[in-house]
Amino acid sequence: MRGYLGIDVGSVSTNVVVLDEQDEVLADLYIRTNGQPIKAIQTGMESIRPELREDLEICGVGTTGSGRQLAAAIVGADVVKNEITAHSVAALNMVPGVRTILEIGGQDSKIIILRDGVVTDFAMNSVCAAGTGSFLDQQASRLTIPIEEFGDYALKAKSPVRIAGRCTVFAESDMIHKQQMGHNLEDIIRGLSEALVRNYLNNVGKGKEILEPVVFQGGVAANKGIKAAFESALGLPVQIPKYFSVMGAVGSAFLAKEHVGRHRPTNFKGFNVTNDTFTGKSFNCSGCSNGCEIIEISNQEAVVGRWGGRCNKWEIA
């Protein structure tokens, strides 16, 4: 049986997905990166293996996310692609005809506009982390509410309070101020959800034509409060695909399948990487005045990847 592996190494979570030949998701996994991408990739590979049938053969591997190059070096990838492409490929396959993708992850948020199945425009937050998953996470832990229940609180609000959404620092001090004034938690959380959506639409979504079907994905899509806030701000229904939190990995698996096709052999190194010890080191190249910072990833003694230079001198991908 043939399968395709997709890995998305993000700032907050590392996701692994295996697709079969019929584009069905056989297994999916969402774990925290915890600032240690190599370990997260190894753990991910180890944890997903028992969920797969013995006779499953991985025929293609795709990686995405900010740690895509690292993941590619460790597991042996056939396609290394940016998150925008991976997310749109996944949404197009899961929700045919999709025209708008709202995606909010740990450290970034993006909007992708598609027409006739082709990306025609996109935007990604550039200088501001307000309105990303990390901020919600942080607020949830400040209020000692599990992040999973954050959305339910928002839905119980009777009259949401206004929270400044432009900047996480402003938002937090606004929230604390309102909470000390005596507003109840539900109203504050709902206010925060609305602020986040308002900031997203004014910043990332500025000037974009948002048309149905609208898909909302990324880790934050688990939050019912944010979904409701999006629906009321847009006046449109918002769909959340089944694998919303691992769409980047799903897209990578699709890309891998497309790339490898029926005949090309895969670079996949097997699931055994979990027993290896990978180490990273860096040095400054002294070949010319650019002084590039070169990163080298080794498995015991063997160098499995090297990048960071402005020329090809050191490159091993």
Partner 1 sequence: MKKVTFPHLGTSVVVFNDLVRDLGNEPVVPIRPNKKILDLGVQYGPEFACLPFKILLGSYLEAVERGADTVVTSGGSGPCRAGHYGEVAQKIMASAGKELEFIVFDSIYQKPLEFIRKVNRLNSAKLSYWSIVQLVRFYWRKLQALDRLERTSHRMRPRELKRGETTQVFNQSIKWVQESKTMGQIDEAEAAGLKAFDVIAQDPAADVVKVGIVGEIYVVLEPASNLEIEETLGNMGVEVNRSIYLTGWTRENAPGGKKADGFEEAAKPYLPEPIGGHAQESIGHTVMYARDGYDGVIQLAPFTCIPEIVVKTIMPRITREHGIPVLTFFLDEQTGKAGMQTRLEAFIDMLRRKKRTREEATYARVSGD
From 96-104, 144-152, 201-209, 217-225, span contacting partner 1 (CB under 8 A): 201-209
Q: Which is nearer to partner 1, 208 or 269 (CB)?
A: 208
From 165-173, 192-200, 205-213, 256-264, span contacting partner 1 (CB under 8 A): 205-213
Residue carrying the six token digits 């688990």: 222
From 1-9, 28-36, 117-125, 231-239, span contacting partner 1 (CB under 8 A): 117-125
With contact defined as beta carbons under 8 Å apart, do 42 and 29 qualify? no
Q: Which is nearer to partner 1, 87 or 257 (CB)?
A: 87
Nearest-angstrom CA–CA distance, 29 and 185 = 32
Q: Which amino acid is at 173?
A: S
β-pairing, 2-9 vs 57-64, is: parallel
The least CB distance from residue 90 to partner 1, in Å, is 14
The least CB distance from residue 233 to partner 1, in Å, is 18
**Residues 73-112, interacting with partner 1 (CB under 8 A):** 81-85
Nearest-angstrom CA–CA distance, 227 and 104 = 11
The least CB distance from residue 8 to partner 1, in Å, is 12
The least CB distance from residue 301 to partner 1, in Å, is 28
Distances (CA, A) of 26 to 30, 177, 289: 14, 47, 50
Strands (E), 148-257: 214-217, 238-239
Q: Which is nearer to partner 1, 34 or 120 (CB)?
A: 120
| H/E segment holding residue 22 | none
Cα atoms in the Cβ-side hemisphere of radius 13 Å centred on 285: 20
Q: Which is nearer to partner 1, 66 or 217 (CB)?
A: 66
From 119-127, 129-137, 153-161, 253-261, span contacting partner 1 (CB under 8 A): 119-127
**Residues 280-299, interacting with partner 1 (CB under 8 A):** 288-289
CA dihedral 4, 9, 13, 16 (to 10 degrees): 10
Q: Verify binding: residue 313, partner 1, rule CB under 8 A.
A: yes
From 39-47, 114-122, 222-230, 233-241, span contacting partner 1 (CB under 8 A): 114-122
Q: Which is nearer to partner 1, 37 or 44 (CB)?
A: 37
The least CB distance from residue 75 to partner 1, in Å, is 19
With contact defined as beta carbons under 8 Å apart, do 62 and 253 qualify? yes
The radius of gyration computed from the CA coordinates of the chain, to the nearest angstrom, equals 21
β-pairing, 293-299 vs 109-115, is: unpaired
Distances (CA, A) of 20 to 1, 51, 63: 8, 13, 17
Among 2, 208, 224, 259, binds partner 1 (CB under 8 A): 208
The least CB distance from residue 92 to partner 1, in Å, is 12
Under the rule (CB under 8 A), what is the footprint of partner 1? 66, 81-85, 118-122, 124, 126-127, 206-208, 288-289, 310-313
